[in-house]
Structure 1
């Protein structure tokens, strides 16, 4: 891989010098373990970018399309990006990359630790904060206040990318970082970013607005964690998460089930959403103990299934083929049999 920066002009330590000296990674047993063993993928013709979260990996690869930049997602297929706790080897991949796209502080503790290692050891991997300049909304009053590390000052919801308009700012932030990394491809990078914002994010925004405007009901019950408040805030709907903290691994309390039952009964809810990468036990309990007939998938774009990877699904495809059909169904806009693509209801009704 060719580093596009001039080493003589950089105050930071190059990755190879960093490894030769051992430094902070030596304590983790990683010194001398980089190079091809990192499995970075792509070619050596241009810079490599790694991302700490699927959504921003997808944004970055769309911005970098038709340039020599290689973009990799650090979160393994099938795992949820919030709550994943990798071993120290992930820092090796970040050190070996030319740039690291992350979600900002206090959301992924492992990413925060890796960034601190880079700074402590003066490694010149470029840091790209996708959250820079984005206004976060306050956490819902129902949030479990004992949870740690969930947003700036622990008072704001970090899931901003679910709002397509805020996501556009993240695309801009990523584009700026990639332009700094590969200035000779500035025109392509900026054109790609503008095209993605207009053709994809503006279109998703309009489609969401149409879905929620058409609904007679404004309450959605989710057997999922508290990740959808930006959609609630943007489109004027009440998202009622069953798991009231921000972590997908959060426990469901008896009081959470009781509250969900009340919401279901008072709003005559027949269908609910369930998190794709979360346990289905609470959804099945509500199915057995309430008038709910079925649950359907929702995801905050925090992870991907193997079949999604095989079909090259990104943020756009997941919005179109997973979240939007479910919102249409749970709001009562569309019967399940008519939602989504051909076979959607059969694939996703009470999915395992």
Structure 2
């Protein structure tokens, strides 16, 4: 029995005891150990998508560990996820203090000398400080460093993570190093640059420099990049947390002072805060945004990635909430408007 086999049999169970994990459905696909083509697994949807773009045309398969319909952090996987990490040739993660379950898996891999390569997508990326409203004692998700971990929402910072993943893949499958790096350069220049350019033009067109979100505090990097104030109603970094009456009152004041008619809310988050603002302020409706932290079943069926979500979810909503366009003009289709105006959670 190899060290990896031993970890598959006992180490994953030990992780469950350590983490207090709860059973959750597994993500599609299954990493295979020994023989066959190499497999990399990713702890977060955005970096799974970057990884599969980088690995295109090579034997390396990239899998997303986050089950469809769930947010990328604030959940605890069952033991099968750890077994899949141990089985894989590489584990793409978001750096420490963001996903506690990923940190624990990394600890086991290092302690037991498992030969799963660890690829930190956050390596060498400059993080901004947490918003002043956030509690520095908040558990996990970057609070220990006092930095906001949601860097990938800035397409320019996302480029570094693409390079980090490409370099990691090159070490795992060195005979395809040139292909990985070529794909990475293509994705950065043709996709991330275009998203950045289109975002910049959109925010530059706006006469408003503030966006009211009913979502959690995940969009600061868009504000930093494009010079707009992103005001989250939910001030925790994870997609959960109570909204205080004072937060509602403050949001209502911002809405009144800036003549805001539309707000944005997270696709995978509770709708009650947004519904409260619609009911108690001049806001007429809320529309969807997402920090690329999870996917819906219909997005999977359409094979949506970071690029498609940017253009089909986030950009139309920002056009609306900035006041650049009416909902009818910004919506990609009539069905989009019907689906996403005051949408209900999945």
Q: TM-score, normalised on structure 2?
A: 0.92
Output aligned runs, 1:161-200, within 5 Å: 161-200=152-191
| CA-CA distance at 1:340 after TM superposition | 3.3
Give the Cα separation in 2 of the matches to 1:189 and 1:153.
33
Match of 1:87 in 2: 78
Give the Cα separation in 2 of the matches to 1:25 and 1:305.
28
Give the Cα separation in 2 of the matches to 1:28 and 1:147.
23
Give the Cα separation in 1 of the matches to 2:156 and 2:277.
33
Q: Kindly indicate whether residue 27 of structure 2 is the aligned counterpart of residue 40 of structure 1.
A: no
Give the Cα separation in 1 of the matches to 2:13 and 2:96.
25
Deviations 1:152-181 (A, max 9, x none): 633000000000000000000000000111
Residue 222 of structure 1 contacts residue 242 of structure 1 at CA under 8 Å; is this kept in 2? yes
| CA-CA distance at 1:41 after TM superposition | 5.8
| CA-CA distance at 1:120 after TM superposition | 1.1
| CA-CA distance at 1:251 after TM superposition | 1.4
Give the Cα separation in 2 of the matches to 1:336 and 1:156.
34
Residue 103 of structure 1 contacts residue 131 of structure 1 at CA under 8 Å; is this kept in 2? yes
Match of 1:313 in 2: 304
Output aligned runs, 1:1-352, within 5 Å: 15-16=4-5, 18-19=7-8, 24-25=11-12, 27=14, 39-40=29-30, 45-151=36-142, 153-343=144-334, 344-352=336-344
Secondary structure class of the residue paired with 1:260:
helix
Residue 220 of structure 1 contacts residue 239 of structure 1 at CA under 8 Å; is this kept in 2? yes
| CA-CA distance at 1:254 after TM superposition | 1.1
Give the Cα separation in 2 of the matches to 1:39 and 1:55.
17
| CA-CA distance at 1:276 after TM superposition | 0.3
Residue 148 of structure 1 contacts residue 154 of structure 1 at CA under 8 Å; is this kept in 2? no
Deviations 1:1-58 (A, max 9, x none): xxxxxxxxxxxx7523655xx563453589xxxxxxx951699631000000000000
Give the Cα separation in 2 of the matches to 1:155 and 1:300.
20
Give the Cα separation in 2 of the matches to 1:134 and 1:184.
27
| CA-CA distance at 1:142 after TM superposition | 0.9
What stretches of structure 1 move > 6 A for 4+ residues in a row? none
| CA-CA distance at 1:249 after TM superposition | 1.1
Give the Cα separation in 2 of the matches to 1:260 and 1:218.
15
| CA gap 1:281/1:29 in 2 versus in 1, 3 angstroms | closer
Q: Cα RMSD over matched residues?
A: 1.9
Give the Cα separation in 2 of the matches to 1:144 and 1:29.
28
Match of 1:35 in 2: none
| CA gap 1:262/1:122 in 2 versus in 1, 3 angstroms | same
Question: Greater CA deviation, 157-166 or 180-189?
Answer: 180-189
Give the Cα separation in 2 of the matches to 1:266 and 1:200.
36
Give the Cα separation in 2 of the matches to 1:108 and 1:216.
37
Residue 45 of structure 1 contacts residue 68 of structure 1 at CA under 8 Å; is this kept in 2? no
Secondary structure class of the residue paired with 1:223:
strand
Question: Greater CA deviation, 58-67 or 333-342?
Answer: 333-342
Secondary structure class of the residue paired with 2:177:
helix
| CA-CA distance at 1:255 after TM superposition | 1.2
Match of 1:5 in 2: none
Give the Cα separation in 1 of the matches to 2:31 and 2:3.
20
Secondary structure class of the residue paired with 1:273:
strand
Residue 15 of structure 2 contacts residue 104 of structure 2 at CA under 8 Å; is this kept in 1? no
- Structure 2: tracts of 5 or more residues without a match: 18-27
